[in-house]
């Protein structure tokens, strides 16, 4: 299929959904974007047709299929995932797993030609027995304590099964590393924005980032050109966590894991609904992904991991000088 | 009427100028933290706040204390690591200690280092002791013997990645977790890799069984060498077994801490953590002739019997080297 003329984006309120929409509208006047989400974004371009559909609604798959039929949608980009886990575990599961299922049902009914789904390299799981570079063929082990990661692992397995049942649709899954940049915000960015950053004493894994521009570029390329398969979207290079924090000039609070987990237990449950291990294990063990397939498919990223991190750090420094 | 060409040597001005220069130098060093090429800043005069009635600047005090404490760790590093985590600056700082261990403590003798082929090769050695001193020292000895080549990387066991404090240091000094993907990736980038196929079984040998090589895994080493097309180089290391003479293995308290077993040596649980220091035995490392696998058929990697036979031959060669070195030495200590 050549470049799709009508592209539906679920989760238009998310960072990637909105950024993709803006890029697509800039790219050509003939592309039509259909937005599906819970709330109409505030300043929406007049060329975008927005349909209010709540993906947690039991009849959502019918409504979404109806939208796809009516607008004659050719490609669907599914970015309707929570940017950060909330304390309401059932609602997160409804949106991320069941919502994905509804979108898949709608795609099947409308016989959509291309489906692009955003995912995360956190789904590989941070384990001491990970190889130094996780390829796309590595099984997704996730983290048993982090509910949003487990939801998305389940969603990915649904998508994998669905793509086997629907071989006519080109399915692309993009697993992004931790996104850093001047504008991107989620709970991970909020952690790194703390003035005093708690860290696990004695552990210093290698970290990897991707710049938000490279992420959106990969998403746009996957939407407009055929790239079926799974790709890791990450920046080149790795650097240790302590270097990351030192470059940002953070004050580091090193605590032994049992003490840190006890201290962070209630705040973590309140904010993310998970025990602290669900996040801190990603600062403890290695979970670096091999991005070669992604770089071959979508081109060299403009920013290396270190440059992406510095872009975030310098943007925060500029905020202080008003 | 004598004209003096001497400069104005008013003592007060000199002192003031010197103090100003000192302050400026200190200020520069504080604002631009030391890069690898610059020597570290001279110790500041006072950590405690001055005795005068100045208000204590707590954040500055915190910063000073933090800087002093972190200077004890790895904070003078560049943070530029290669893709597997090896850091040249940490290596440079650790070099005196590694050289001390190599020259004075263990007095390592490396024989036939010229047999190690240039480019990628898979060195296979016998494993002894829980902590990877043998891998670290072999890598250091080979790097010193062949300075123009890349430093060889040594493969370490999985569970070392779970230990705090050990995990970052191992990676920075060139250790890599032992698994197939890592070995293949290292070899494809043209480096020499040191593997210990005995694995846990080798590390857990008690003193009675020292230098008797256990089964060399399930042929993974040979399979990696076949698929990457690199020669296998047998290496025998004599010395580390006696550095940590494990009398017997204690299972129960080890599992609580996360270790596979707790080694009981003549010094270890008795003298506490100090007893885990290795003894200064003399080490002898012998490098054998490389086994070239190029003349084998391309689909040899699927031939299980061939792999098993090659593994056994590799084990026999390493055992030969170890036995030759054992026969040569007169005593454990020299």
> Is A135 in contact with B83 (Cβ distance < 8 A)?
no
- pLDDT > 90 fraction of chain B, expressed in percent and rounded: 27
- Quick one: which of A271, A7, A236 has its CA closest to A113? A7
pLDDT for the residue numbered B265: 74
**pLDDT per residue as tens digits for the range B159-182:** 888 888 888 888 899 999 999 999
Assess if residue B226 is contained within a domain.
yes
Those residues whose C-beta lies under 8 Å from the C-beta of residue B39, and which sit 6 or more positions away, are none
Look up tokens 């238009």; give the residue.
A12
CA distance B131 to B138: 13
Please check whether residue A204 touches B, CB under 8 A. Answer: yes
Q: State the total domains in chain B.
A: 1
Domain range enclosing B198: 112-245+283-326
Those residues whose C-beta lies under 8 Å from the C-beta of residue A99, and which sit 6 or more positions away, are A55, A56, A60, A80
Assess if residue B4 is contained within a domain.
no
Out of A201-215, B299-313, B317-331, the most confident range is A201-215
Average model confidence (pLDDT) for chain A?
A: 92
Assess if residue B36 is contained within a domain.
no
CA distance A251 to A255: 13
Between B273 and A49, the more confident residue is: A49
Q: Give mean pLDDT, residues B66-94.
A: 74
Average model confidence (pLDDT) for chain B?
A: 80
pLDDT greater than 80 at residue B129: no
> Is B75 in contact with A246 (Cβ distance < 8 A)?
yes
pLDDT for the residue numbered B290: 92
Assess if residue B291 is contained within a domain.
yes
pLDDT for the residue numbered B2: 43
pLDDT for the residue numbered A2: 75
> Is A203 in contact with B168 (Cβ distance < 8 A)?
yes
Please check whether residue A242 touches B, CB under 8 A. Answer: yes
Which range is least confidently modeled, A59-68, A166-175, B114-123, B239-248?
B239-248
pLDDT greater than 60 at residue B47: no
User: A84: burial class by Cβ within 10 Å (0-12, 13-18, 19+)?
Assistant: middle
Between B334 and B277, the more confident residue is: B277
Q: What SS3 state is found at B261? A: coil
**pLDDT per residue as tens digits for the range A20-48:** 999 999 988 888 999 999 989 888 888 89
**Residue A289 DSSP code:** B
Task: Give the pLDDT band of residue B4 (cuts 50, 70, 90).
Answer: very low
**pLDDT per residue as tens digits for the range A256-299:** 999 999 999 998 988 888 999 999 999 999 999 999 999 999 99
* C-alpha A187, offset from chain centre: 12
Between B23 and B262, the more confident residue is: B23
Between A146 and A249, the more confident residue is: A146
CA distances from B333 to A95, A264, B242, B280 (A): 68, 51, 9, 7
Task: Give the pLDDT band of residue A320 (cuts 50, 70, 90).
Answer: low
A260 chain-B contacts, CB cut-off 8 A: none
CA distance B1 to B206: 93
Tell which A residues from 134 to 163 touch B, by Cβ distance under 8 Å: 135
Assess if residue B23 is contained within a domain.
no
Are A112 and A73 a contacting pair, CB within 8 Å? yes
pLDDT for the residue numbered B1: 42
DSSP-derived pairing of the beta strands B262-264 and B248-250:
antiparallel
- Quick one: which of B117, B109, B112, B108 has its CA closest to B233? B117
> Is B176 in contact with A239 (Cβ distance < 8 A)?
no
Q: Give mean pLDDT, residues A140-168.
A: 95
Assess if residue B210 is contained within a domain.
yes
pLDDT greater than 70 at residue B323: yes
Nearest neighbour of A204 by CB, restricted to B62, B168, B182: B168
> Is A129 in contact with B181 (Cβ distance < 8 A)?
no
Task: Give the pLDDT band of residue A133 (cuts 50, 70, 90).
Answer: very high
- Quick one: which of B119, B196, B180 has its CA closest to B152? B119
pLDDT for the residue numbered B3: 45
CA distance A34 to A66: 12
**pLDDT per residue as tens digits for the range A63-114:** 999 999 999 999 999 999 998 899 999 999 999 999 999 999 999 999 999 9
Assess if residue B150 is contained within a domain.
yes
Q: What SS3 state is found at B79? A: coil
B185 chain-A contacts, CB cut-off 8 A: 132-133
Residues present in chain A in total: 322
Are A80 and A11 a contacting pair, CB within 8 Å? yes
Interface test with A, best of B36, B78, B161, B220 (most A CBs within 10 A): B161
- Quick one: which of A47, A115, A113 has its CA closest to A80? A115
Which range is least confidently modeled, A42-46, A232-236, B2-6?
B2-6
Closest chain A residue by Cα to residue B84 = A132
What domains are there in chain A, each with its CATH number?
6-180+210-234+289-301 (3.40.50.720)
Task: Give the pLDDT band of residue B274 (cuts 50, 70, 90).
Answer: low
Are A37 and A10 a contacting pair, CB within 8 Å? yes
pLDDT for the residue numbered B260: 67
Assess if residue B178 is contained within a domain.
yes
**pLDDT per residue as tens digits for the range B201-229:** 777 777 777 788 877 778 889 999 988 88
CA distance A23 to chain B (A): 33
> Is A132 in contact with B181 (Cβ distance < 8 A)?
yes
Q: Give mean pLDDT, residues B259-278.
A: 71
Please check whether residue A285 touches B, CB under 8 A. Answer: yes
B109-111 β-sheet, strand order? B109-111, B284-287, B232-238, B121-125, B192-195, B153-156, B175-177
Between B45 and A230, the more confident residue is: A230
CA distance B44 to B64: 9
pLDDT for the residue numbered A158: 96
Q: What is the pTM of this model?
A: 0.82
CATH number at residue B142: 3.40.1130.10
> Is B182 in contact with A132 (Cβ distance < 8 A)?
yes
């Amino acid at each position: 299929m050549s470049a799709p003329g009508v592209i539906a984006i679920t989760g238009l309120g998310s960072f990637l959904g909105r950024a993709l929409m803006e890029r697509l509208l800039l790219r050509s006047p003939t592309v039509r974007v259909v937005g599906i989400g819970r709330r109409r974004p505030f300043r929406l371009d007049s060329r975008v047709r927005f349909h209010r559909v709540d993906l947690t609604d039991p009849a959502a798959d019918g409504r979404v299929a109806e939208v796809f039929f009516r607008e004659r949608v050719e490609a669907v980009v599914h970015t309707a995932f929570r940017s950060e886990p909330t304390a309401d575990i059932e609602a997160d599961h409804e949106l991320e797993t069941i919502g994905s299922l509804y979108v898949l049902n709608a795609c099947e009914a409308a016989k959509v030609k291309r489906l692009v789904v955003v995912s995360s390299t956190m789904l590989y799981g941070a384990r001491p027995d990970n190889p130094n570079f996780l390829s796309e063929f590595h099984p997704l082990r996730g983290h048993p304590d982090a509910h949003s990661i487990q939801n998305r692992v389940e969603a990915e397995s649904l998508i994998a099964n669905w793509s086997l049942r629907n071989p006519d649709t080109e399915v692309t899954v993009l697993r992004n590393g931790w996104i850093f940049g001047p504008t991107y915000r989620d709970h991970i960015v909020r952690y790194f924005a703390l003035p005093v950053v708690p860290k696990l004493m004695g552990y210093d894994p290698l970290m990897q980032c991707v710049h938000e521009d490279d992420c959106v570029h990969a998403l746009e390329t996957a939407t407009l050109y055929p790239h079926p398969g799974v790709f890791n979207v990450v920046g080149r290079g790795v650097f240790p966590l302590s270097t990351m924090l030192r470059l940002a000039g953070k004050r580091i609070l090193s605590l032994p894991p049992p003490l840190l987990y006890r201290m962070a237990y209630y705040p973590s449950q309140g904010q993310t609904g998970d025990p602290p291990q669900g996040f801190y294990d990603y600062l403890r063990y290695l979970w670096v992904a091999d991005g070669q397939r992604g770089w071959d498919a979508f081109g060299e990223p403009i920013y290396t991991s270190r440059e992406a991190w510095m872009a975030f750090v310098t943007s925060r420094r500029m905020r202080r000088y008003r | 009427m004598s004209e003096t060409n001497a400069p104005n040597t008013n003592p007060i001005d000199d002192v003031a100028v010197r103090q100003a220069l000192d302050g400026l130098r200190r200020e520069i060093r504080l604002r631009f933290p030391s890069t690898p090429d610059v020597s570290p800043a001279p110790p500041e005069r006072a950590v405690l706040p001055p005795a005068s009635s100045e208000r204590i600047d707590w954040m500055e005090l915190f910063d000073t204390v933090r800087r002093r404490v972190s200077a004890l760790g790895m904070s003078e590093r560049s943070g530029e690591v290669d893709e597997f985590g090896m850091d040249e600056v940490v290596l440079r700082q650790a070099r005196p200690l590694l050289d001390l261990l190599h020259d004075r403590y263990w007095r390592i003798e490396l024989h036939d280092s010229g047999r190690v082929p240039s480019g990628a090769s898979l060195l296979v050695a016998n494993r002894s002791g829980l902590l990877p001193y043998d891998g670290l020292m072999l890598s250091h000895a080979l790097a010193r013997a062949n300075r123009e080549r890349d430093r060889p990387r040594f493969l370490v066991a999985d569970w070392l990645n779970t230990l705090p404090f050990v995990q970052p240091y191992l990676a920075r000094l060139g250790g890599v977790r032992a698994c197939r993907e890592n070995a293949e990736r290292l070899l494809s980038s043209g480096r020499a890799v040191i593997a210990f196929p005995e694995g846990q079984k080798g590390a857990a040998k008690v003193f009675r069984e020292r230098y008797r090589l256990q089964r060399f895994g399930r042929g993974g080493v040979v399979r990696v060498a076949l698929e990457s097309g690199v020669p296998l180089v047998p290496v025998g290391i004599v010395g580390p077994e006696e550095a940590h003479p494990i009398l017997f293995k204690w299972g129960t308290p080890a599992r609580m801490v996360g270790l596979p077993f707790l080694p009981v040596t003549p010094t270890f649980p008795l003298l506490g953590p100090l007893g885990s220091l290795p003894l200064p035995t003399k080490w002898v490392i012998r490098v054998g002739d490389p086994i070239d696998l190029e003349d084998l058929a391309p689909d040899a990697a699927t031939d299980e019997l061939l792999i098993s036979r090659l593994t056994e031959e590799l084990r026999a060669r390493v055992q030969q080297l170890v036995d030759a070195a054992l026969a040569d030495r007169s005593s454990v200590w020299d």
